[in-house]
Structure 1
Amino acid sequence: MRLLSYCLFLFVLLLSSLCSNAQTDKAEAGIKTIMEENKVIGLSVAVVKKGKIIYTHSFGLKDVESNTALTDENIFRIASISKSFSATSIMQLVEAKKLSLDDDVSKLLGFTVRNPTFPQTVITLKMLLSHRSSINDSQGYFTLDAINPEKNPDWKKCYNAYEPGTDYQYCNLNFNMIGTMIEIISGERFDQYVKHHVLDPLGLYAGYCVDSLDKTRFATIYEYNSKEDKFTAAPGAYAPRSEEIRNYKMGYSTPIFSPTGGMKISATDLATYMTMHMQLGRYKKTKIISKKSAKQMQTKLSDKEGYGLAIMTTENLIKGKTMKGHTGSAYGLFSAMFFNPKEEFGFVVITNGCNGTYTDGMNTVMRSTINCLYDAFIAK
């Protein structure tokens, strides 16, 4: 009887291994086709199922000039997915009762943040997090001087014609202000707060400060010129801004670290972070935010744009599935982090360069790769 049970165990183990190999082969064949069709330089992916990372792999090149292969150890500037790290940090401070989502941004920042057409309407922290502040990026977003009435004579151009809270426009300046408020309220420099309260507890090698990371692990990012059919390296993606940091002014210089887009992390570590959100604020035994905060981040404020607090909801990524997450694009990089909290699966996809075409509002490489991974590892 014991022998029969042992043989059955070995058979199940062998069958599982064969199935796993078939899934991997299917995924990798599909991804290689996607890369060829879209002129992808390099691509890192990760798949999560039931709270576990079940697959990671990197394809193509980390650096074209040296012909160096991309590996799972390489890190990327992930662009706008960074916003969710800032929002997660804000939710921690809200839970600690150090601020409220309904707080007046003007009082938190120390200078007036008011739409001149609606001066009586308070612009709240929640409005910034959900891109419903009526603020735009027309004056730039790499410094708070853009929206500070004492610094920019054209500050009024930072505001749209509609009343704050009534409509949506995606705006990077919103999150550079959010990063500044994290710094003011916590007393820690923004990059250090995220490291100490989000990254370190999850055991992630990542950060906003270039000089605190191993530069040999950076994947070179390439911008594609469609007219010349040519890729060019974009060193600005990892500009250390060391001089600006030496002259840093706490509570104002925060955009130097780009809370809106400057996180540097690997696809595998980003998948761990995503799993925390998929599991409503917890990863294994580590609690980062409460269930209430996690749900609030994931709840869309309007069906029109499907955006919550730095996490969006889409029905248009995988047929028949509601996915939550975020995309990113900057300097030629494209990134995507999407999960289904009900069925507990999710994907991270990052490329350091591709032809940059879009399909149904999303980068084609991101959309195609996520669906390829879904078909191979998740679909029944």
Structure 2
Amino acid sequence: MALLGGMQHVFGAPLRAANWKRGLDAELAAIAANPACTLTSLSVLAIRQGRVAYTAQFGHRTVAADGGGGARATARTMYRIASISKMMTTLALMRLVEQGKLTLDADAGEYLGFALRNPHYPERPISLRLLLSHTSSLRDDAGYSFKADQALRNLLVPGAPLYGDGKMWASNAAPGAFFTYSNLAWGVIGTIMERVTGERFDLLMRRLLLGPMGLRGGFNASAMTPAELADLATLYRKRTTDTEVWDGAGPWIAQVDDYPNGAPAAPQDLAAYAPGNNATPFSPTGGLRISAPDMGKVMLMLMNGGRHEGVQLLRPATLASMFERQWTYDGKNGDNLNGLFRAWGLGNQHFPEAAGGPQLVEGGGFGGVGHLGEAYGLYSVFVADLAKKNGIVVLVGGTSADPEADKGLHSSMPRMLERILGGVNRQALLKA
């Protein structure tokens, strides 16, 4: 009995850790296998007090049409993370700001080589700060992804060949006056980054962010190695790609990144690509492929004041300006998308804790900054309390039913995401 008591003392902490991890594994596995909304794959990472406390993967990165077989998701599985890419793009942009190549409050047209003006408010300059905070007055109504030979100048300037009836400009909100989430703004941002460096966007992101941090993946699937492609998650829905009709009893239908027969084609003839005309083929707005553990590296870098493995990638003051609040919803100054958007920094969403308001986790107690993503069946979450050094990454590779049909109970997110975040917060952040 004395010996057993001693062993309990020695192994008590590891046993407790194993218990909560097993419990969280079981909870997340049940969410992923829920027949009401099955997930093809789920990758999760939690950071507690500046250390990775939990990481796990469930399901398959590729699945057969009948749901059987396929390659299992692993720690190396990379996902097209949708709009969290915007925050990653911003990190690279802020390095250019540090280098003196860009100024946040300069007229963005000075970098583009043509006047960037809302024709309804021609006296109002549009700066990078307004583009980064979704207050530029640009809209997505005319699209936000174009072939590389379609220069953005020809879309944005009145009277230009692609301008049409000018749906890309708000007629009822001047630059700086109103928040409307704009993917097109990020095509403009990526094009500006190309123009001031002379580098293709995907290669620029590798030089400024992915390479220095040793992150796998990138914004150009056609440039991935065979080993990287083997780790890429196909994104799925149980619905066709061109309708909103879901069929939970039907087959899994690949939406994007389905490359069973080798590498994808390049966005175009890259040898003839002209940086600085139109960066949208590489999707600065949503095209980054990356794994949950590598996203965790980025989160730790932010928590450590811009420092990664002994290298100062960004200055603390630069990050402070990036995460400084730029916009807060006051009931009439923006499109808050049913409460989803309540506050914004530069390329990052804020999740303020407010009594009676939406909460990331049931009962509150976990707020922060970061970004959400949703596209092609994927749902993604990157949220961190930088002061407490706690954070959560969630990547869902596809759903069998429309998650929006099962509304959250305490947020504007689907209930599926609420359950995942709640379990990770309760087990990995509060119990670990």
TM bin (shorter chain):
over 0.9
Residue aligning to 1:81: 84
How far apart are 1:197 and its partner, in Å?
1.6
Q: 1:211 aligns with which of 197, 222, 225?
A: 222
Q: 2:346 aligns with which of 288, 309, 334?
A: 309
Q: How do residues 141-220 of structure 1 correspond to structure 2 at under 5 angstroms? A: 141-143=144-146, 144=152, 145-149=154-158, 150-154=160-164, 156-160=166-170, 161-213=172-224, 214-220=228-234
Amino acid at match of 1:89: A
Change (3 A) 1:39 1:116: same
Please provide the CA RMSD for this pair. Answer: 2.1
Change (3 A) 1:242 1:154: closer
Q: 2:25 aligns with which of 16, 28, 32?
A: 28
Residue aligning to 2:117: 114
Amino acid at match of 2:270: I
How far apart are 1:309 and its partner, in Å?
0.9
Asked if the contact 1:244–1:256 (Cα under 8 Å) also holds between the matched residues in 2, the reply is no
Task: Tell me how far apart the structure 1 counterparts of residues 314 and 161 of structure 2 sit (CA, whole Å).
Answer: 36
Deviates more, 1:101-110 or 1:141-150: 141-150
How far apart are 1:33 and its partner, in Å?
2.1
Q: 1:101 aligns with which of 87, 100, 104?
A: 104
Asked if the contact 2:186–2:284 (Cα under 8 Å) also holds between the matched residues in 1, the reply is yes
Task: Tell me how far apart the structure 2 counterparts of residues 350 and 93 of structure 1 sit (CA, whole Å).
Answer: 29
Residue aligning to 1:228: 247
Task: Tell me how far apart the structure 2 counterparts of residues 345 and 139 of structure 1 sit (CA, whole Å).
Answer: 39
* Cα offsets for 1:269-296 (capped at 9, x unmatched): 1111122123332223122211122122
Change (3 A) 1:283 1:51: farther
Task: Tell me how far apart the structure 2 counterparts of residues 132 and 264 of structure 1 sit (CA, whole Å).
Answer: 27
Q: 2:286 aligns with which of 261, 267, 286?
A: 261
Q: Does 1:70 find its partner at 2:73?
A: yes
How far apart are 1:257 and its partner, in Å?
0.5
Deviates more, 1:99-108 or 1:120-129: 99-108
* Cα offsets for 1:5-60 (capped at 9, x unmatched): xx97x755511211110121121111122223321111011111232222211101
Q: Does 1:250 find its partner at 2:308?
A: no
Q: Does 1:293 find its partner at 2:318?
A: yes
Q: 1:134 aligns with which of 137, 147, 150?
A: 137
Asked if the contact 2:233–2:257 (Cα under 8 Å) also holds between the matched residues in 1, the reply is no
Asked if the contact 1:132–1:169 (Cα under 8 Å) also holds between the matched residues in 2, the reply is yes
Change (3 A) 1:50 1:81: same
Amino acid at match of 2:290: I
Task: Tell me how far apart the structure 2 counterparts of residues 58 and 14 of structure 1 sit (CA, whole Å).
Answer: 26
Amino acid at match of 2:42: L
Deviates more, 1:257-266 or 1:22-31: 22-31
The SS at the match of 2:188 is helix
Answer 1 or 2: which has greater helix percent: 1
Task: Tell me how far apart the structure 1 counterparts of residues 312 and 306 of structure 2 sit (CA, whole Å).
Answer: 6
The SS at the match of 1:64 is coil
Aligned residues: 374
Residue aligning to 1:369: 420
The SS at the match of 2:145 is coil
How far apart are 1:114 and its partner, in Å?
0.9
Amino acid at match of 2:391: G
How far apart are 1:240 and its partner, in Å?
4.1
How far apart are 1:302 and its partner, in Å?
2.4
Q: How do residues 274-285 of structure 1 correspond to structure 2 at under 5 angstroms? A: 274-285=299-310
Change (3 A) 1:124 1:245: same
Asked if the contact 2:130–2:175 (Cα under 8 Å) also holds between the matched residues in 1, the reply is yes
Change (3 A) 1:48 1:155: farther
Task: Tell me how far apart the structure 1 counterparts of residues 272 and 157 of structure 2 sit (CA, whole Å).
Answer: 20
Q: Which runs of 5+ in 2 are unaligned?
A: 147-151, 240-244, 330-341, 354-358
How far apart are 1:344 and its partner, in Å?
0.8
Task: Tell me how far apart the structure 2 counterparts of residues 243 and 322 of structure 1 sit (CA, whole Å).
Answer: 41
Deviates more, 1:152-161 or 1:131-140: 152-161
Asked if the contact 1:237–1:331 (Cα under 8 Å) also holds between the matched residues in 2, the reply is no
Amino acid at match of 1:263: L
Change (3 A) 1:111 1:155: farther
Q: Does 1:347 find its partner at 2:392?
A: yes
What percent identity do the matched residue pairs reach? 30
Asked if the contact 1:280–1:294 (Cα under 8 Å) also holds between the matched residues in 2, the reply is yes
Asked if the contact 1:317–1:323 (Cα under 8 Å) also holds between the matched residues in 2, the reply is no
Q: How do residues 27-46 of structure 1 correspond to structure 2 at under 5 angstroms? A: 27-37=24-34, 38-46=37-45
Residue aligning to 2:333: none
Q: 1:123 aligns with which of 121, 126, 136?
A: 126
The SS at the match of 1:339 is strand
Asked if the contact 2:188–2:278 (Cα under 8 Å) also holds between the matched residues in 1, the reply is no
- TM normalised by structure 2 equals 0.82
Amino acid at match of 2:46: V
